Each structure stands twice: as structure tokens, then as C-alpha cells.
Amino acid sequence: MPTLWDNQEEALKLTSEKNILDENISFYENLIDSLASDEEMIELAELENDEDMLKDIYSHLENLKSDAKQKELLSLLSGEFDKNDTYLEVHSGSGGTEAQDWAEMLLRMYSRWAEKHNYKVSYIEETEGDVAGLKSATIKITGLNAYGWLKGEGGVHRLVRISPFDSNARRHTSFASINVYPVVDDKINIEINPADIKMDTYRSSGAGGQHVNKTESAVRLTHIPSGVVVSCQTERSQFANREHAMNMLKAKLYEIEQRKKEQASEQQWEEQGDNGWGYQIRSYVLQPYKMIKDLRTGAETSDDRAVLDGEIDLFLSSYLSSKSNK
């Protein structure tokens, strides 16, 4: 008779799922116990007219409320790929050097967010801008729920600021797009006709050589029927880069098909068309006032420094909450 550990991979998966369920049950039971205890303490404090005790209890209740809210958000990460690692692509759009600088700022923002949450960031591809910044870049973010948290970030991000590249200090508007798709395992069966793939090789060109290997091994794959493009230049061999790029391509195509089945907008999940006015999800205004606002949920903050340094949980949480209410 077969036992659970005959299939070690499946056993580890089931064990992980069990541990998560046990943790959720334990959290719920502890929350109920804490609320009951606080209720008794409130009655006692009111009888004794103890204002200091009441303040401590109300402070504890606020902490419980915050913990429960965070747990509620985590419960929304229940999609097929939400627990997976994720790829995140940045593409500069309208605005020339300004947009390329903006693309690099966004890449830093998401990298800093990942680091703050103890996720691992791996650089897959970088193409330098003509003067400054980046034309494009792809990173892999590894950690539990990485895709679930970031899946709503796909779209065009608009920046308004005084240009550091304009000697007349004029205000400029720049655009860059973000694509997010999950890392999927080999069990996902995606058949791709080799005749539908165009492969280009080129010399790696990461910014300053910090993240990528500077050899002739970089690979760019174009899926001709869909127009989807992926690139990889992090490995030292062309073969390894091609294999990695194929996995990325399969993941991207699979995600597009799944979203179509869910009747999502096809346009949203294919390559962003014009990185311009019509596709914005968030606006970052740094001049003449400071305001970063998500155009889908209405979430906003004037703390531009914190956001651009990776403090984007406000926007991630508001997006998840908005989807749960539909």
C-alpha cells in the first residue's frame, strides 16, 4: 500500500498546506481568546474606573484589529498562482530619457519592496537606456505569495516631475509599464510550436555590469502569434539562457490564457500597447504638489519618498481588497 512519503514532492506540498491551515486555525483561536479576555478586562476596568487600564486594553484591541486585517488580506491570496514566485518586467514608454530613468526608478521601488519583505531578487535581463536609466528589465522575485501580492501592479505608471535632464527645469510627464506573471513549474503543460518562436542573441548589457553577465550569450525569444517577448541574460551560457527564457515564455502564455478563461480583459494581459495616457493604473505626481494615487482603487498618499523607496503595501492591499468586494 503506498504511503504519503513515497512521493516526496507531493508529501512536502501537502505538509506545507497543512502547516498553513494549522497556523490559520491557531491564529483564529488565539484571536477569539484575546477578545474574550479583553472584554472581561474592560468590564473590570469600568467597575474600578481605571482609565489607564482602559487605554491599554483599547490599544491592544487596535493591534488585534490590525493583525486580523492583515490575515484577511492573506486569505485573499487564494488564486492558483498566488503563492508562487513571480517575474516582474519594467518597460520604459513615452518620454525618452525621462521615461528610461523612470523605468529604473520603478525597478528600484519593486526591488526595495521585495527586500523589505525578505524576498530574494534575481536579475534576469537589463537593457540600458540611451543616456540614463533602463529601456527594459526583468527580475524574478522569490518568496511565498510574491505573485499574489504583485499581480495587480501590471499596467502603465505615470510620473510627473521637474526633469533632472532639462536645463530649463521644466515639468515633464513620463510613462513606464509593468508586466507581472508567475513562475510556474514543469507540471504546467504548454505546447509551443518551435516554428512560432523567433530567437535573437545579443551581448548582455546590464547597468554597470552589476547584475548580469556581459557575454554574447543573451537570448531574446519572440512568440510570433501573440507578440509576447521574453529575454534572459543572467546565465553564462546561451543554452541556459534559452532554457530559462522558454520557461518564462511558457509561464507568460499560460497566465494570459488563464486570464482569458476568467473573462479578464485580453488587452490587459498581453503586452502593454502604448505606454501612454490610456493604460494608466497609477499616477506619481512630484511637482507642483506631491501625490501618488492608484486610479483603480482611489488609494493615495503624499509620502512620495517612502513609496519610491518600496513602501507600496498601501496600494497592494487596496487592490486586493477591491477585488474581494466584486
CA distance 36 to 260: 46
Pick the CATH number of 86-324 from 3.30.70.1660, 3.90.1150.10, 3.30.450.20, 3.10.420.10: 3.30.70.1660
CA distance 309 to 320: 21
Q: Where are the domains of the chain?
A: 4-75, 86-324
Q: Are 71 and 27 in contact (CB under 8 A)?
A: yes
Give the range among 183-197, 215-229, 282-296, 307-321 with minimum mean pLDDT: 183-197
The strand pair at 155-162 and 280-285 is best described as parallel
- Residue with the bigger pLDDT between 178 and 236: it is 178
Q: Closest by alpha carbon to 257, among 132, 85, 81? A: 81
Query: What number is the average pLDDT over the span 5-13?
Result: 75
- Residue with the bigger pLDDT between 168 and 82: it is 82
pLDDT at 68: 84
Query: What number is the average pLDDT over the span 123-145?
Result: 91
Q: Which residues contact 143 (CB under 8 A, 6 or more apart)?
A: 85, 114, 117, 118, 119, 120
Query: What number is the average pLDDT over the span 287-302?
Result: 94
Q: How do residues 176-233 score in pLDDT, each as one tens digit?
A: 999 999 998 766 677 888 899 999 888 766 544 455 555 567 888 999 998 999 988 8
Report CA-CA distances (Å) from 169 to 157, 160, 163, 173.
22, 13, 6, 13
Give the range among 119-123, 189-193, 273-277 with minimum mean pLDDT: 273-277
- Residue 243 pLDDT > 80: yes
* Residue corresponding to grid cell 518562436: 197
Q: Are 154 and 91 in contact (CB under 8 A)?
A: no
From first CA to last CA, the distance across the chain in angstroms is 46
Confidence at 104, pLDDT banded by 50, 70, 90: very high
pLDDT at 265: 44
pLDDT at 164: 84
DSSP H or E segment with residue 88: strand 86-92
Cell numbers for 143: 518568496
Residue type, 288: P
- Residue 24 pLDDT > 50: yes
- Residue 284 pLDDT > 90: yes
Computed from CA positions of residues 55, 60, 61, 63, in that sequence, does the dihedral angle turn out positive or negative?
A: positive
